[in-house]
Amino acid sequence: MRKNICLLLAVCCSFSAFAQKQQDYPIQPVPFTSVKLADHFWNSRIETNRTATIPASFTRCESTGRVKNFQMAAARSGKFCTTYPFDDTDIYKTIEGASYSLAVHPDKQLDHYLDSIITIVGKAQEPDGYLYTARTIDPIHPQAWAGPERWVNEQNMSHELYNAGHMYEAAAAHFMATGKRNFLNIALKNADLLVRTFGPGKRTVAPGHEIVEMGLVRLYRISGKKEYLDLAKFFIDARGHKEYNKKSKNPFENGVYWQDDTPVTNQDEAEGHAVRAMYLYSGMTDVAALTGDKEYIAAIDKIWDNMVSQKLYVQGSIGAVGDGERFGGNYELPNTTAYNETCAAIGNVFWNQRMFLLHGDSKYIDLLEKTLYNGLISGVGLDGKSFFYTNAMQIRDSFTHPDIERERSGWFTCSCCPTNIVRLIPSIPGYMYAQNGKDVYVNLFISGSANLKVAEKELKITQQNNYPWDGGLVFNIDPASAMDMNLKIRIPGWAQDKAIPSDLYSYEKPSAQKIEIKVNGKAVDYQMDHGYAVISKKWKKNDRVELTLPMDVQRVIANEKLADDNGKIAIQRGPIMYCAEWKDNAGKPSSFIIPKDVVFTPSYNADLLNGVITLKADVKSVNVDEANQNVSTVTSTLTAIPYYSWANRGKGEMTVWFPEQVKYVDLLSK
C-alpha cells in the first residue's frame, strides 16, 4: 500500500495534517473546498440546500424542542421534550451541513448562529465530557430509552455512541470549514471520556447504531491521537460476541439487525438495518486503510460483492425491507414494498467513496454515481424542504402499505433523513476528484474548476459540460507550468454496457455510440486501468480533453432471480434511471407495455422539474372502460421522467419497471 502525503483539508475522508508517511488510503480525495462548481444540475441543489434546507432544518430543530433539550441539559433541569434520545444528532448534522456551506459561501450571520448553538451544546456537556441531553437534563429520570445509567442501554436503545459519532463528524467539519476549535474541543473532550470508559480491561459494548467508529477516525485524523483509532477498532471488534438466539429468523433475536450476530471478520453479507450497516462498513474501511488490516478488507470486499450482486435496487437504493429498515435476503427486492431509506443511500455514498480510495477501482464510483443521481436525491424535493424517508419503486392506487411514502414530508418524528441530506448535498464537490501522486482521478462530471497540486505544482482542471443530459464532456487541463501527470478519467460502467458492476442488471443490447477521447482536437489512444481511461503525457497550459460518452436510451433487464422484475424492463439514459409518473401518463403509468422494438425520443424540457430530459414512446397500453366494463389494448404515448424527480407535482402512481409483454392481467376493483 502506497504512502501518501496530503496537507490539504480533506473533508470527505481524510485529514492528515499530522499524518505524514503513516499508513492511509493510497488515494486521497481532493477536498470540496478546492472545487468550485458552475454546474446547472448541482449548483441549484446546493444553493437550495443553503438557502432553504439548512435554515428550515435549524428552524425545525428549534420549533420541535431539539434545541430546547440542549438548553435544559445546560441548565440540568426540565424534561426531555422530543421523542428519541438521538434527536440531538439532528442539530449536529445540520451544523455539519452548514459548515460545508460556510466553507464555500461565507455567511457571517450563519457563522454566528452556529457559534451560538455550539455554545449551548458546550454547556450541555457534563464536566467529564459526557454529552447526551436525554440523561443530563434529569439523570434521575432520564428519557426511557436512555436507560437508568450511562451506557447500559447502548446496544438496544440509548444511541449514546451514535450521538457521539455524529457530534465528531460535525465538529470535524466545523473545524475544517472555519478553523475554529469551539465545537472540536467539545468533541475531543467527549472522545477522551470514551477512551477512559471503553477498551480492553474497561467497559465493552458493540455500539447499537454504528457511526462512532467513523467519527473517532475523523478525530484521529485531526488530532493524531492514536487512542481514537484504537477505540474505533475496539468498537468494531466488539461485534459478534453477544449471546443471541442463532436459530431465530428474527433479526432482533439473532443479532443480525445490529450486525452483531458474528464478528465482523466473519461477516460476508450485507445484512440488518441498512444505515447501521453502511456506517459500520464505512468505519471498517477507514480502520482498514489506517491499519492495513487484511481481514477487514477481505470482509468488506465480500460484503460489497454481496450487496451489489444481490441486494441493490436498479436505481441504487438499498434496504428493501421496512420491518427493521433492513436488507432483505439475497434477491429479495420487491417493488411495491421497497423501503429504501434515504439515509441508507447516503451511507452507501460514504462507503463507496472509501472503497474507491482503498482500491482505486471505478466500480465503486459507478455505484456512488448511480446512488447519487437517482435513489439518493429522490429523497429531497426540488423545493429543498420536503423529504422522503423511504424511496418507493412503485406506487399503485390499488395498493397501500403503511411504510411506503407517496409524498414528501417537511420533517419526521425520526428526522434522520432530512438532516443527512443537509450534510450530504454541500459535500458533493468533494467526491469529484482524487489523487495519488501523479495520478489524478476524475470521478464525477460536474462543471466547474478544481485546484490541485501535483508534485508541488499548481494544476487547475475545469469541466464544461451538461451532464447528466449530454455525453459530450470537456476537461480543460491547465497546469501552472508543463507537468507530467496521469489523467485518469472514469469511464462509467453504463457507458461500457455494464448497468452496474454485477450481473444483477444488464442492458439488452450494446450502445450504438462509441466512447471517444480527443486531446486538443485529436483522437488519442488510451489505456484502461480499473475502469479509468489513463492519459499520460506532459500536460501544458490550456490542454483540452474531450470525452464522448454514449447516451443511448437503454432497456435494463434484471437477473431472473428478482421475482418482481421478471419479464419487465427499466429505462436508463446515461447515469439517469427513469420512471413514469401519473402526471404525464393519464394517471396510469403501469398500463404500458414496452416491447423489444420500442423507440424512445429524448427531449430536454427546461421548464419541467428544474430542467430534465424526458423520454417518450408510442406503445400499447391497456385501457379500462369502467362504464361499459370493457378492457382493451390501445396505443398511447408513454412519458418517462428521471426517477429522482418524481413526486414533485402531487401524488399518484409511479413505476420504474414495465412489462415487456403481458401474459396475464390482475383485475382490480378499486
Min dist. Cβ of residue 289 to a copy of itself (A): 38
Cα distance between residue 660 and residue 306, in whole Å? 28
Cα distance between residue 331 and residue 101, in whole Å? 39
Q: Is 104 in the site for a copy of itself (CB under 8 A)?
A: no
Q: Is 588 in the site for a copy of itself (CB under 8 A)?
A: yes
Picking from 472, 455, 459, 319, the residue whose alpha carbon sits closest to that of residue 393 is 319
Which amino acid is it at 194? L
Min dist. Cβ of residue 565 to a copy of itself (A): 9
Min dist. Cβ of residue 143 to a copy of itself (A): 13
Which amino acid is it at 40? H
Taking CB under 8 A as the criterion, the residue among 17, 120, 534, 593 binding a copy of itself is 593
Question: Long-range contact list for 224-228, CB < 8 A, 24+ apart?
Answer: 224/18, 224/19, 227/195, 228/191, 228/195
Which stretch in 273-281, 596-604, 628-636, 637-645 sits in contact with a copy of itself by CB under 8 A?
A: 628-636
Of 75 and 662, which has the nearer Cβ to a copy of itself? 662
**253 tagged catalytic:** no
471: which strand partners? none
Q: Which one of the listed residues 227, 325, 546, 653 is annotated catalytic? A: 325
Q: Is 334 in the site for a copy of itself (CB under 8 A)?
A: no
Q: Is 199 in the site for a copy of itself (CB under 8 A)?
A: no
Which stretch in 15-23, 293-301, 466-474, 624-632 sits in contact with a copy of itself by CB under 8 A?
A: 624-632
Tell how strand 483-490 and strand 439-442 pair up. parallel
Tell how strand 576-581 and strand 553-558 pair up. unpaired
Min dist. Cβ of residue 381 to a copy of itself (A): 27
C-alpha gyration radius of the chain: 25
Taking CB under 8 A as the criterion, the residue among 65, 595, 602, 611 binding a copy of itself is 595
Taking CB under 8 A as the criterion, the residue among 192, 529, 584, 660 binding a copy of itself is 660
Q: Is 396 in the site for a copy of itself (CB under 8 A)?
A: yes
Helical axes 212-223 vs 274-291, angle rounded to 10°: 30
Q: Is 599 in the site for a copy of itself (CB under 8 A)?
A: no
The C-alpha angle with vertex 165 and arms to 159 and 171, in degrees rounded to 5, equals: 135
Which stretch in 103-111, 146-154, 537-545, 655-663 sits in contact with a copy of itself by CB under 8 A?
A: 655-663
Count of residues engaged in binding a copy of itself, rule: CB under 8 A: 37
Of 106 and 148, which has the nearer Cβ to a copy of itself? 148
Instruction: Kindly write out the interface string for residues 536-575 of this chain, putting x where it contacts a copy of itself by CB under 8 A and - elsewhere.
Output: ---------------------------x--xxx-------
Of 70 and 389, which has the nearer Cβ to a copy of itself? 389
Min dist. Cβ of residue 250 to a copy of itself (A): 6
Of 109 and 635, which has the nearer Cβ to a copy of itself? 635
Min dist. Cβ of residue 665 to a copy of itself (A): 4
Burial class (CB in 10 A: 0-12, 13-18, 19+), 69: buried
Which stretch in 302-310, 397-405, 413-421, 498-506 sits in contact with a copy of itself by CB under 8 A?
A: 397-405
Of 413 and 630, which has the nearer Cβ to a copy of itself? 630
Min dist. Cβ of residue 548 to a copy of itself (A): 35
Q: What is the DSSP string of 586-597?
A: TT-GGGEE--TT
Which stretch in 341-349, 391-399, 428-436, 600-608 sits in contact with a copy of itself by CB under 8 A?
A: 391-399
Greatest CA separation for the chain: 78
478: which strand partners? 460
Q: Is 116 in the site for a copy of itself (CB under 8 A)?
A: no
Which stretch in 65-73, 295-303, 345-353, 583-591 sits in contact with a copy of itself by CB under 8 A?
A: 583-591
Q: What is the DSSP string of 333-357?
A: --STT----HHHHHHHHHHHHHHHH
Burial class (CB in 10 A: 0-12, 13-18, 19+), 481: exposed
Q: Which one of the listed residues 61, 416, 417, 579 is annotated catalytic? A: 416
Min dist. Cβ of residue 248 to a copy of itself (A): 8
**653 tagged catalytic:** no
Does residue 490 contact residue 475 with C-beta atoms inside 8 Å?
no
Q: Is 591 in the site for a copy of itself (CB under 8 A)?
A: yes
Place of cell 439488452: 508
At residue 563, φ and ψ (nearest 5 deg) are -55, -40
Question: Long-range contact list for 7-13, CB < 8 A, 24+ apart?
Answer: 8/34, 8/453, 9/33, 9/176, 10/221, 11/100, 11/173, 11/176, 11/177, 11/427, 11/430, 12/353, 12/427, 12/430, 12/431, 13/286, 13/353, 13/354, 13/357
Q: Is 664 in the site for a copy of itself (CB under 8 A)?
A: yes
Taking CB under 8 A as the criterion, the residue among 622, 636, 637, 649 binding a copy of itself is 622
The size of the chain, in residues, is 670
Min dist. Cβ of residue 510 to a copy of itself (A): 24
Instruction: Kindly write out the interface string for residues 398-427 of this chain, putting x where it contacts a copy of itself by CB under 8 A and - elsewhere.
Output: x-x---------------------------
Sequence-distant (6+) residues with CB within 8 A of 496 are: 515
Q: Is 626 in the site for a copy of itself (CB under 8 A)?
A: yes
Min dist. Cβ of residue 220 to a copy of itself (A): 36
DSSP 81: -
Does residue 468 contact residue 58 with C-beta atoms inside 8 Å?
no
529: which strand partners? 532
Q: Is 108 in the site for a copy of itself (CB under 8 A)?
A: no
Q: Is 448 in the site for a copy of itself (CB under 8 A)?
A: no
Question: What sections of 198-324 are H helices per DSSP?
Answer: 212-223, 226-237, 274-291, 294-310
Taking CB under 8 A as the criterion, the residue among 47, 293, 397, 403 binding a copy of itself is 397
Around Cβ 514, how many Cβ atoms within 10 Å?
Answer: 10
Which stretch in 67-75, 83-91, 587-595, 635-643 sits in contact with a copy of itself by CB under 8 A?
A: 587-595
Min dist. Cβ of residue 84 to a copy of itself (A): 12
Instruction: Kindly write out the interface string for residues 224-263 of this chain, putting x where it contacts a copy of itself by CB under 8 A and - elsewhere.
Output: --------------------------x-xx----------
Min dist. Cβ of residue 310 to a copy of itself (A): 17
Taking CB under 8 A as the criterion, the residue among 59, 330, 527, 633 binding a copy of itself is 633
Buried b (16+ CB within 10 A) or exposed e, 444-467: bbbbbbbbbebeeeebebbbebbb
Tell how strand 568-573 and strand 527-529 pair up. unpaired
Q: Which residues bind a copy of itself (CB under 8 A)?
A: 250, 252-253, 396-398, 400, 563, 566-568, 588, 590-591, 593, 595, 620, 622, 624, 626, 629-633, 659-670
The set of catalytic residues is 325, 416
